[in-house]
Amino acid sequence: MNKENKSAIQEHGVNKANLSRKKSQGKTASNVTHFFLALTSALLMILAFPEFNAFYLAFFALVPLFIVLEMERSLIKVVIWVEVFVLVFYLYLLYWIETFHPLALPGVLLYLLLIYPIPFIFYRMVKRSHTKYSFANVILLSCILTLFENFRNFGFMKFPYGNIAYSQYEFLSFIQISDIIGPLGISFILYFFNACLASFILKVILLPKTYSFSKLKIIFNRMTLAFLVVIAVYIYGDNRLEFYQFQENNRNDLTQEEIEAKRIDVALIQPWFDYNKPWNKERKDELYDKLTEQTLKVSSDDLDLIVWPESAILDYYDYQIKSNFNQLSVAREFYDFFKAYGKQFSQVHFLVGSSDFEITNSSGKVSKSNEHARSAKDAKTKFFSEVKKYNSSLLINHEGEVVSKSGKRNLVAFAEYFPYKWVFDYVPILEKFLNEAHASNFSPYLRYETLAFPKGNFGSLICYDSVFPELSRVLVLKGAKFLVVITNDAWSYSVKSEVIHYSFSIFRAIENRRHVIRVGNAGVTSLILPSGKTKGGVLDVFVEDSMVSEFIPNDKNLTFYSLYGNIILYIIIFFFMINYFGLMGLLVLPWRFFRKVVSLFRKNKTVS
523-551 tens-digit pLDDT = 899 999 999 999 999 999 999 999 999 99
pLDDT digits (tens, 9 = 90+) for 440-476: 678 889 889 999 999 999 999 999 999 999 999 999 9
Asked if pLDDT for residue 36 goes beyond 90, the answer is: yes
Please indicate whether residue 63 or residue 329 has the higher confidence score (pLDDT): 63
Which of 390, 391, 386 has the alpha carbon at shortest distance from 361? 386
In the structure, what pLDDT confidence band is assigned to residue 573 with cuts at 50, 70 and 90? confident
pLDDT digits (tens, 9 = 90+) for 126-165: 887 656 678 888 999 999 999 999 998 887 778 899 999 9
What pLDDT was estimated at residue 154? 80
Average pLDDT value over all residues in the chain: 85
| 3-class state of residue 299 by DSSP | coil
In the structure, what pLDDT confidence band is assigned to residue 376 with cuts at 50, 70 and 90? very low
Asked if pLDDT for residue 172 goes beyond 90, the answer is: yes
What pLDDT was estimated at residue 375? 43
| Strands, sheet with 545-551, edge to edge from the N-terminal-most edge strand | 402-407, 388-396, 349-358, 305-307, 264-270, 545-551
In the structure, what pLDDT confidence band is assigned to residue 239 with cuts at 50, 70 and 90? very high
* Mean pLDDT in residue range 301-317: 94
* Mean pLDDT in residue range 99-104: 82
Asked if pLDDT for residue 370 goes beyond 50, the answer is: no
Asked if pLDDT for residue 61 goes beyond 90, the answer is: yes
Asked if pLDDT for residue 439 goes beyond 90, the answer is: no
Please indicate whether residue 16 or residue 408 has the higher confidence score (pLDDT): 408
What pLDDT was estimated at residue 377? 44
Asked if pLDDT for residue 605 goes beyond 60, the answer is: no
pLDDT digits (tens, 9 = 90+) for 396-432: 999 999 999 999 999 887 777 776 665 555 566 666 6
Which of 62, 94, 309 has the alpha carbon at shortest distance from 196? 62
| Biggest CA-to-CA distance, the chain | 116
Determine if residue 312 is left, alpha or beta; phi over 0 gives left, psi from -120 to 50 gives alpha, anything else beta.
alpha
* Percent of residues, the chain, with pLDDT higher than 90: 58
* Percent of residues, the chain, with pLDDT higher than 70: 79
Contacts of 334 (CB under 8 A, 6+ apart): 288, 313, 317, 352, 400
In the structure, what pLDDT confidence band is assigned to residue 380 with cuts at 50, 70 and 90? very low
Distance of alpha carbon 296 from alpha carbon 194, whole angstroms: 51
What pLDDT was estimated at residue 254? 78
In the structure, what pLDDT confidence band is assigned to residue 92 with cuts at 50, 70 and 90? very high
> In sequence order, what DSSP letters do the residues of 15-38 get, joined into one string?
HHHHHHHHHHHHHHHHHHHHHHHH
What pLDDT was estimated at residue 414? 73
Distance of alpha carbon 488 from alpha carbon 478, whole angstroms: 26
What pLDDT was estimated at residue 29? 65
What pLDDT was estimated at residue 114? 94
In the structure, what pLDDT confidence band is assigned to residue 302 with cuts at 50, 70 and 90? very high
In the structure, what pLDDT confidence band is assigned to residue 279 with cuts at 50, 70 and 90? confident
What pLDDT was estimated at residue 220? 62
What pLDDT was estimated at residue 278? 85
What pLDDT was estimated at residue 598? 63
| 3-class state of residue 107 by DSSP | helix
Please indicate whether residue 270 or residue 214 has the higher confidence score (pLDDT): 270
Q: Using an 8 Å Cβ cutoff, are 415 and 100 in contact?
A: yes
Which of 360, 362, 363, 364 has the alpha carbon at shortest distance from 375? 360
Asked if pLDDT for residue 218 goes beyond 50, the answer is: yes
What pLDDT was estimated at residue 378? 45
| 3-class state of residue 157 by DSSP | coil
What pLDDT was estimated at residue 385? 45
What is the number of other CB atoms lying within 10 angstroms of the CB of residue 13?
10
pLDDT digits (tens, 9 = 90+) for 290-299: 999 999 999 9
pLDDT digits (tens, 9 = 90+) for 505-527: 999 999 999 999 999 999 899 99
In the structure, what pLDDT confidence band is assigned to residue 240 with cuts at 50, 70 and 90? very high
